[in-house]
Amino acid sequence: MVEHEVDGAAGTAVVDAPTADRRSVIGAPGDGVLARLRAEVGELTGALRRVAEHVLSDPEAAARATIVELAERSGTSPATITRFCRALGFDGYADLRLGIAAETGRARSAGWTVDIGREIQPGDPLERVLDQIMAADTRAMHDTAALLDLAEVERAAVAIAGASRVNIFGASGSALVGEEMQFSLHRIGVAAWAWSDIHSGLASAALLGPGDVALGISHTGQTRETIEMLAEGGSRGATTVALTGFPRSPLAELADVVLLTASHATTFRPDALSARHPQLVVLDLLYIAVAQRTHDRAHAAFRRTAQAVDGHKAAKGTIA
């Protein structure tokens, strides 16, 4: 049955509140409408959330449906669909349909439309599992590219390139990603440290100051330890950067610069694990952007560090 109720707080919260903020994904029409929906669906409530979930469950069917059909299938009303379109930054339903159709068409032509929603079964052959993982990761990469604000990457790169000290904070899987970034920056002569222990991280963050950078990594943006360490660095005047999958998360809200990633969970790889590769891609882009801005210093440092370990490589033919 089609509802005829106004969405109330849910509708106005999405359209009128922080949607104009640079950290909100909803409100910027164009490429990546489905990626933006996946990132924001958890923040929607009521009828708008039902529409979003229905669109994400079968985007191709949604692109073919009329506004009345989509309202009926999602258990909402045409007026709700119109509000949904405006919340996404579209002038009307026709523009939304075109956006979804274009995105699903690109996915189909790229050849990575394996049924990502299907659970991996214990008896699945490894070939099928590999296809599933590749499809999920490829989709996540494309969604991340659509979500990522390159102007924010530029801001972060400029801050890191000019920083006297860079602290990277993360817990569990995010800590591993942070250590990879620390290693990359260290190779090009950037003074960077990666912290996962809350006590050591807070102590180091307390020594930051203006001109330094604090980078917090958390897919959910809700890891308390990471939030506390980033907040401590920010309170000392450091530029704060958040790498997260949720633009309205506590971590994103306290950061000066927000870098967004997408993920596609599969069996045994929930969002936090499936976010690892997109996180690495964004950090690799950030690392290259820093290296570009410190080219001479970075090139010299990379050459010296490579020479320093060259003597520890086994010579060809010496291993029996």
pLDDT mean over 83-94: 88
Q: Which of 74, 103, 132 is at the close of a domain?
A: 103
Residue 28 binned pLDDT confidence (cut-offs 50, 70, 90): very low
Domain count, the chain: 2
Percent of the chain exceeding pLDDT 70 equals 81
Most confident option among 76-80, 153-157, 267-271: 153-157
Q: Which residue type does 220 have?
A: T
Q: How far apart are CA 254 and CA 77, in angstroms?
A: 36
Please report, for the domain that includes residue 280, its CATH number.
Answer: 3.40.50.10490
In a domain, 203, yes or no: yes
Q: Which of 103, 119, 138 is at the close of a domain?
A: 103
C-alpha 117, offset from chain centre: 19
Q: How far apart are CA 296 and CA 142, in angstroms?
A: 32
Q: For residues 280 and 180, is the Cβ–Cβ distance under 8 A?
A: yes
What's the per-residue H, E or C state across 197-246? CHHHHHHHHCCCCCCCEEEEECCCCCCHHHHHHHHHHHHCCCEEEEEECC
pLDDT of amino acid 163: 97
pLDDT mean over 192-210: 97
297-303 contacts at long range (C-beta below 8 A, 24 or more positions apart)? 297/188, 297/189, 298/188, 298/189, 300/189, 301/187, 301/188, 301/189, 302/187, 302/188
Q: How far apart are CA 87 and CA 68, in angstroms?
A: 18
Please report, for the domain that includes residue 51, its CATH number.
Answer: 1.10.10.10
pLDDT mean over 122-151: 86
In a domain, 2, yes or no: no
Find, among 249, 245, 228, 243, the residue nearest to 160 by Cα. Answer: 243
Q: Which of 41, 73, 103 is at the close of a domain?
A: 103
Helix, strand, coil content of the chain in percent (nearest 5) = 60, 10, 35
In a domain, 180, yes or no: yes
Whether 90 and 228 share a structural domain: no
Does residue 31 surpass a pLDDT of 80? no
pLDDT mean over 234-252: 95
**Beta carbons within 10 angstroms of residue 10's beta carbon:** 19
Q: How far apart are CA 12 and CA 94, in angstroms?
A: 22
For the ranges 21-25, 237-241, 300-304, the lowest mean pLDDT is seen at 21-25
Does residue 13 surpass a pLDDT of 60? no
In a domain, 292, yes or no: yes
Q: Which domain holds residue 261?
A: 148-309
For residue 81, give every residue at least 6 positions away whose Cβ sits within 8 Å of its Cβ, in sequence order, or none. Answer: 51, 67, 70, 71, 74, 93
pLDDT of amino acid 11: 35
pLDDT of amino acid 108: 61
Q: What's the alpha-carbon Rg for the chain, to the nearest Å?
A: 22
> Considering the chain, what is the average pLDDT of its residues?
83
Whether 70 and 204 share a structural domain: no
For the ranges 6-10, 32-36, 169-173, 214-218, the lowest mean pLDDT is seen at 6-10
Whether 194 and 91 share a structural domain: no
